Amino acid sequence: QKEVEQDPGPLSVPEGAIVSLNCTYSNSAFQYFMWYRQYSRKGPELLMYTYSSGNKEDGRFTAQVDKSSKYISLFIRDSQPSDSATYLCAMSFNAGGTSYGKLTFGQGTILTVHP
């Protein structure tokens, strides 16, 4: 069993739809949870990060963490064609800045938002 599981999709939605992306994980020691967006042949860019359980909202994006269920989600409201990309969840044991702060990634979900 992989430490982090993410449905690879692909996911295709019409413009304006609400998109829900999810990851489950097995290691309860993970404390920091992140969502990255990666366009083709580019490095990942950070969208959201949360510490421990709870919700965090930033514009059209909402990240949720449920540590009791070992489940995290990213919601995209009013999706746009420019949101078409691969979305990667990632998590770490600590905040980084040390050799122990490495990220464990999910497989990535390929999202296409069509006009």
Partner 1 sequence: GAVVSQHPSWVICKSGTSVKIECRSLDFQATTMFWYRQFPKQSLMLMATSNEGSKATYEQGVEKDKFLINHASLTLSTLTVTSAHPEDSSFYICSATDRGRAYGYTFGSGTRLTVV
Candidates 24, 62, 84, 107: give the one binding partner 1 (CB under 8 A): 107
Integer distance in angstroms from the first to the last C-alpha of the chain? 37
| Residue 60: closest CA among 108, 7, 15 | 15
Collapsed DSSP state (helix, strand, coil) of residue 83:
helix
Report, in Å, the least distance between residue 55 CB and partner 1: 17
Among 14, 58, 95, 114, binds partner 1 (CB under 8 A): 95
Query: Per CB under 8 A, does 46 bind partner 1?
Result: yes
Binding of partner 1 at residue 103 (CB under 8 A)? yes
Block residue for tokens 């295709």: 12
Q: How far is the CB of 16 from partner 1 (least distance, A)?
A: 27
Inter-residue contact 31 to 94 (CB < 8 Å): yes
Residue 54 in the binding site for partner 1 (CB under 8 A)? no
Tell me 99's DSSP state: T
Interface pattern 16-45 for partner 1 (x via CB under 8 A): ----------------x-x-x----xxxxx
Nearest to 30 by CA among 67, 1, 5: 67
Give the footprint of partner 1 on this chain (CB under 8 A): 6, 8, 32, 34, 36, 41-46, 49, 88, 95-99, 101-103, 105-108, 110
